[in-house]
């Protein structure tokens, strides 16, 4: 008789195990999610989290994590069914397999939105997750670390809550563990915390993270290098002091090798880290140059396309902006060509905008810098982008500023001559003003200006009295005899014909 009773319980246990395992398996396929939800899977799985059989608990948690991972609607369903507090309560008491599965659910819910991440925090999950970072099993640490990263990534208040739970110190300890997956997630989580504010980045730095991250730049593992370079960039971007801490960890010239990595994300994150360091001061930009950074960045900008190209383009612009010698280093290392190529060929306007801005930073220093850009045929290309009716407002603004900066330093007048016949009035005023600066002191330039049709062109411009363009035209006209100016003025040929008609020999 007792055997028959026990058999009933064993069958019930086997049925529960089969059910949760099948649901977990079905939840792997996106096409099943809605069907499972409509069948009331949440309310069926919830009590199984408290099942007396550990394998049922673990499979139920795994199934819930896969459901929540699918979409924010499913994650909201997990929250609305009060499953999170139940998971949190049992996190401290259960075995490592359950802890790993429960942390997966928390991670899957938190990743979707700040509101869902806030729900995880309000359930008291942070303390339980931080406690999991003290576990012996590295897979439990990894799962907890990942969940903390997904909470931190949304905004500074959530990241601060993670910091206040004393997660940073234990996450830095995870960096020192031998397991690669744990190192990767630890670096990513620290990046998610540091990215929001100087204070949070300083907190990460104060716990010694930089010293452990820097040597990993040369790791053979691409995924680890991605996260390490990203984390160092997120720390360095906020302030000069933090950027100097990153530099003091002796990442140069090692980080330049990342720009040649086979993994494109490693290359992009490495370029981003260099950009975030170089942008702060002339001294840090010079350090990048001295380490051979310009040649490496130029190669990177030549070899990449699309969004991956952006940090290289911007870094060249930041370096060039600081001083004439730094801008000259970019010219010498043939840095103009990839910027022009990006300006002309990239389909996205935000990349074109960055290229236009960087070209302006190179050309704005001296006539020699402007001449280098003029010789590379940059001015017509910038003008074309400026005048294109499909260009975004930001691209038009960046192209205009670059044109202005380069034109105002350009004394090589043949480079300006094609623009004189194509540019709209807002750009013409800078071109004509530049002629007005150069022509008074250069007789040959005055002759060439007439021979190429420049003097006739500016007489054809209908500039209103009192405008900068009109003032520049008047300044150019003052460089020539009045009869020459009148000869090239519109209507002068009619005036001559009238005089012929009126003349009586």
pLDDT value at residue 190: 96
Tokens of 401: 């500023």
* pLDDT for residue 384 is more than 60: yes
Share of the chain above pLDDT 70, in %: 96
Return the H-helix or E-strand segment holding 376. Answer: none
- Kindly report, residue by residue over 35-53, the tens digit of the pLDDT: 888 888 888 888 888 878 8
Higher pLDDT, residue 94 or 268:
268
Place of tokens 């290229």: 355
Q: Any idea which of 254-268, 413-427, 460-474 has the lowest mean pLDDT?
A: 460-474
Helices (H), 439-467: 443-451, 454-459
* pLDDT for residue 150 is more than 80: yes
pLDDT band (50, 70, 90) for residue 498: low
Contact (Cβ atoms closer than 8 angstroms) between residue 329 and residue 289: yes
What is the C-alpha R_g of the chain? 33
Q: Which of 270, 240, 269 is nearest to 253 (CA)?
A: 270
Contact (Cβ atoms closer than 8 angstroms) between residue 102 and residue 58: no
pLDDT value at residue 355: 96
- Kindly report, residue by residue over 202-252, the tens digit of the pLDDT: 999 999 999 999 999 999 999 999 999 999 999 999 999 999 999 999 999
* pLDDT for residue 463 is more than 80: no
* pLDDT for residue 454 is more than 90: no
Higher pLDDT, residue 476 or 294:
294
Residues 462-471 have a mean pLDDT of 79
Q: Please state, in angstroms and rounded to a whole number, the distance separating the CA atoms of residues 171 and 186.
A: 6
- Kindly report, residue by residue over 306-329, the tens digit of the pLDDT: 999 999 999 999 999 999 999 999
Residues 436-445 have a mean pLDDT of 84
pLDDT value at residue 148: 94
* pLDDT for residue 345 is more than 80: yes
pLDDT band (50, 70, 90) for residue 88: confident
* pLDDT for residue 497 is more than 60: no
pLDDT value at residue 502: 58
Phi, psi of 281 (to 5 degrees): -145, 160
Q: Which of 258, 263, 246 is nearest to 297 (CA)?
A: 258
pLDDT value at residue 393: 93
- Kindly report, residue by residue over 101-110, the tens digit of the pLDDT: 889 999 999 9
Q: What is the dihedral of CA 332, 336, 341, 343, to 10 degrees?
A: 170
How far apart, in Å, are the Cα atoms of 312 and each of 42, 84, 315, 451, 452? 48, 43, 5, 43, 39
> Which letter does DSSP use for residue 130 in this model?
H
Q: Please state, in angstroms and rounded to a whole number, the distance separating the CA atoms of residues 156 and 154.
A: 7
pLDDT value at residue 493: 56
Q: What is the mean pLDDT of the chain?
A: 89
φ/ψ bin of 363: left (φ > 0), alpha (ψ from -120 to 50), beta (otherwise)? alpha
Q: Which long-range contacts (CB under 8 A, 24 or more apart) does 314-318 make?
A: 314/275, 314/354, 314/357, 314/358, 315/271, 315/274, 315/275, 315/278, 315/279, 315/288, 316/358, 316/362, 317/354, 317/357, 317/358, 317/361, 317/362, 318/275, 318/278, 318/279, 318/285, 318/361
Q: Which of 232, 248, 259 is nearest to 284 (CA)?
A: 248
How far apart, in Å, are the Cα atoms of 499 and each of 136, 234, 492? 104, 76, 11
How far apart, in Å, are the Cα atoms of 336 and each of 94, 295, 342, 405, 481? 61, 12, 10, 16, 41
Question: Is residue 46 exposed (0-12), middle (13-18) or buried (19+ Cβ within 10 Å)?
Answer: middle
Q: Which of 51, 86, 56, 81 is nearest to 67 (CA)?
A: 81
Higher pLDDT, residue 341 or 99:
341
Q: Which of 226, 202, 201 is nearest to 216 (CA)?
A: 226
Return the H-helix or E-strand segment holding 281. Answer: none
pLDDT value at residue 224: 96
Place of tokens 């670390």: 145
DSSP string across 150-183: HHHTS-HHHHHHHHHTTHHHHHHHHHTSS-HHHH
pLDDT value at residue 134: 87
Q: Please state, in angstroms and rounded to a whole number, the distance separating the CA atoms of residues 316 and 336.
A: 9
């Amino acid at each position: 008789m007792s055997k028959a009773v026990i058999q009933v319980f064993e069958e019930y246990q086997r049925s529960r195990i089969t059910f949760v395992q099948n649901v977990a398996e079905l939840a792997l396929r996106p096409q099943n999610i809605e069907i499972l939800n409509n069948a009331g899977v949440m309310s069926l799985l919830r009590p199984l989290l408290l099942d007396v059989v550990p394998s049922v608990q673990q499979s139920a948690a795994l199934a819930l994590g896969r459901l929540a991972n699918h979409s924010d609607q499913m994650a909201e369903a997990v929250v609305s069914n009060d499953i999170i507090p139940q998971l949190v309560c049992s996190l401290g008491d259960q075995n490592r397999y359950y802890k790993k599965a429960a942390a997966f659910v928390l991670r899957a819910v938190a990743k979707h939105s700040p509101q869902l991440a806030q729900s995880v925090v309000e359930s008291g999950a942070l303390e339980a997750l931080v406690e999991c970072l003290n576990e012996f099993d590295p897979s439990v640490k990894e799962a907890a670390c990942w969940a903390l990263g997904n909470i931190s990534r949304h905004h500074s208040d959530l990241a601060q809550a993670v910091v206040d739970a004393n997660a940073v110190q234990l996450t830095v300890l995870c960096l020192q563990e031998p397991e690669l997956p744990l190192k990767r997630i630890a670096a990513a989580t620290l990046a998610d915390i540091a990215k929001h504010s100087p204070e949070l980045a300083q907190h990460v730095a104060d716990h010694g993270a930089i010293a452990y991250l820097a040597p990993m730049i040369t790791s053979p593992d691409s995924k680890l290098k991605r996260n390490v370079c990203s984390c160092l960039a997120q720390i360095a971007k906020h302030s000069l002091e933090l950027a100097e801490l990153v530099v003091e960890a002796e990442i140069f010239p090692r980080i330049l090798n990342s720009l040649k990595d086979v993994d494109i994300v490693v290359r992009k994150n490495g370029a981003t880290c260099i950009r975030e360091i170089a942008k702060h001061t002339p001294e840090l930009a010079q350090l990048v140059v001295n380490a051979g950074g310009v040649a490496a960045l130029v190669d990177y900008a030549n070899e990449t396309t699309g969004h991956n190209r952006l940090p290289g383009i911007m870094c060249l612009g930041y370096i060039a902006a600081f001083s004439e010698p730094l801008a000259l280093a970019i010219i010498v290392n043939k840095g103009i060509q990839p910027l022009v190529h990006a300006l002309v060929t990239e389909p996205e306007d935000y990349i074109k905008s960055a290229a236009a801005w960087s070209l302006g930073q190179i050309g704005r220093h001296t006539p020699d810098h402007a001449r280098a850009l003029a010789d590379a045929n940059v001015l017509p290309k910038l003008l074309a982008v400026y005048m294109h009716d499909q260009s975004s407002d930001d691209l038009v603004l960046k192209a205009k500023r670059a044109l202005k900066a380069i034109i105002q330093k350009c004394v090589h007048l043949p480079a300006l001559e094609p623009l004189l016949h194509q540019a709209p009035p807002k750009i013409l005023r800078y071109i004509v003003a530049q002629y007005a600066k150069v022509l008074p002191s250069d007789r040959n330039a005055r002759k060439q200006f007439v021979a190429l049709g420049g003097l006739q062109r500016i007489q054809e411009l209908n500039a209103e009295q009192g405008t900068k363009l009109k003032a520049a035209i008047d300044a150019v006209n003052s460089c020539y005899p009045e009869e020459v100016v009148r000869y090239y003025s519109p209507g002068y040929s009619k005036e001559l014909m009238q005089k012929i008609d009126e003349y009586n020999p």
